[in-house]
Amino acid sequence: MGRRFPFPIPNGWFAVAWSGELAAGEVKPLRCFGRELVLFRTESGRARLLDAYCPHLGAHLGVGGTVCEETIRCPFHGWRWDGEGRCQEIPYAKRIPPAVAIDALPVCEKNGAIFAWHHLEGAAPDWEVPDLPEFVDPTWTEPEPFEMDLATCLQELGENAHDPAHFVTVHGVADVPRSDAEFDGRSKVSINRGSFQTPRGPVETVIRGESFGLGLGVTRVSGIADMCFLAMNTPVDEENLHLRWAFSVPRVGDSTRAEGVGRAFMNEFMRQLQQDAPIWANKVYTERPMLCDGDGPIAQYRKWARQFYSEV
């Protein structure tokens, strides 16, 4: 069976862990971007990400490897590697071979998460992960995380948000949501307006979503309650994703009620993803879809998304 999708893993910043999951001196094996990787935090507290396999004799650094100051030590022969992938010590050798190195991925830590830069051609980062103040601001509640796996790719997941008609047939909403979208450089903004039923009657609500590349999005809700949702979607390989989502609400007024509303929104998002999941897992990607005038801005989204793919 051939590949389900006609494009590679996209380039950009992608979350590989929550910051709180990696203590100083801790080592974690990861599978992301179709690769085996090792994530570790140095004794000074800096997160680092390397190819998992020691180029000496192939040991997996994430299984038995240990942090030593600012390096990770191979469990097999004790070779020590810094966060740039350079060998700093071979305990039994007089000199280090000049060309020996491990591939290192650029890492940044923002918004309570650790992000890695993936680029198929090895290019350096050409944009930054934005600061999202709600997720580090003490006047907002501690972000509440949700995670799940999906058998699809980022292209399909992103297009889903610009396909309003499926919300009626798949998710059972009463009407097709009203939606506007703007595509600008590395980011895009979508605004959805609708009415939500509450014990106090219908409440007009605005949902503003902003995406940065294909793996990071923030959604701000106003109306029914003020809320902020963080969506970090990471390719495991060409056909599978790991989702890390979280929400936060302001610590003002009845924040307990607002947290309950936020949790209900997040549960609804997850419910809808679970409804989409069997469709994604069994569909094919149509490169030339037969769109109609009732469809959303799928063509515009595809044009915007092309910038994040290397030519293969």
Per-residue pLDDT, averaged over 185-209, amounts to 82
Residue 34 tokens, joined: 């179709």
Residue 174 pLDDT > 80:
no
pLDDT at site 168 = 84
CA 78 to chain centre: 33
Indicate whether 103 and 245 sit together in one domain: no
Contact present, 4 and 233 (Cβ < 8 Å): no
Q: Smallest Cα–Cα separation from 79: which of 43, 41, 107, 53? A: 53
Residue 170 resides in a domain: yes
Among the three residues 118, 146, 161, which one is the final residue of a domain in this structure?
Answer: 118
pLDDT at site 20 = 96
Indicate whether 25 and 162 sit together in one domain: no
Indicate whether 278 and 239 sit together in one domain: yes
- What CATH number does residue 142 fall under? 3.90.380.10
Residue 252 pLDDT > 80:
no
Residue 253 vs residue 221, higher pLDDT: 221
Indicate whether 142 and 267 sit together in one domain: yes
pLDDT tens string 216-248: 999 999 887 889 999 999 999 999 999 999 999
Residue 312 pLDDT > 70:
no
Residue 128 resides in a domain: no
Average of per-residue pLDDT values in the chain? 92
Residue 68 vs residue 170, higher pLDDT: 68
Among the three residues 94, 118, 142, which one is the final residue of a domain in this structure?
Answer: 118
Residue 1 resides in a domain: no
pLDDT at site 96 = 97
Residue with tokens 């509640």: 141
Residue 132 pLDDT > 80:
yes
Indicate whether 179 and 301 sit together in one domain: yes
The three-state secondary structure class of 304 is: helix
Per-residue pLDDT, averaged over 146-170, amounts to 90
Per-residue pLDDT, averaged over 202-209, amounts to 85
Indicate whether 80 and 161 sit together in one domain: no
Among the three residues 91, 118, 145, which one is the final residue of a domain in this structure?
Answer: 118
Q: Which one of 39-53, 210-224, 238-252 scores highest in mean pLDDT?
A: 39-53
Per-residue confidence at 90, pLDDT binned at 50, 70, 90?
A: very high
- Among the ranges given (19-23, 193-197, 306-310), the one the predictor scored with the smallest mean pLDDT: 193-197
Q: Which one of 69-83, 143-157, 298-312 scores highest in mean pLDDT?
A: 69-83
pLDDT at site 208 = 92
Indicate whether 191 and 271 sit together in one domain: yes
Counting residues of the chain whose pLDDT is more than 70, the rounded percentage is: 96
Q: In total, how many domains does the chain have?
A: 2
Residue 5 resides in a domain: no
Q: Angle CA(11)–CA(16)–CA(19) in degrees, nearest 5? A: 135
Residue 110 tokens, joined: 């923002």
pLDDT at site 197 = 67
Q: Smallest Cα–Cα separation from 136: which of 20, 300, 2? A: 20
- What CATH number does residue 70 fall under? 2.102.10.10
Residue 195 pLDDT > 90:
no
Residue 176 pLDDT > 70:
no
Indicate whether 70 and 143 sit together in one domain: no
Residue 3 resides in a domain: no
pLDDT at site 294 = 83
Q: Say which residues have a Cβ less than 8 Å from residue 250's Cβ, sequence separation at least 6.
A: 139, 140, 141, 226, 258
Residue 26 resides in a domain: yes
- Strand order across the beta sheet in which 47-51 lies: 27-32, 35-41, 47-51, 104-105
Q: Smallest Cα–Cα separation from 221: which of 182, 269, 174, 169? A: 269
Indicate whether 72 and 151 sit together in one domain: no
Residue 91 pLDDT > 90:
yes
Residue 4 resides in a domain: no
In terms of residue numbers, what domain contains 209? 133-308
The pTM of the full predicted model, rounded to 2 decimals, is 0.92
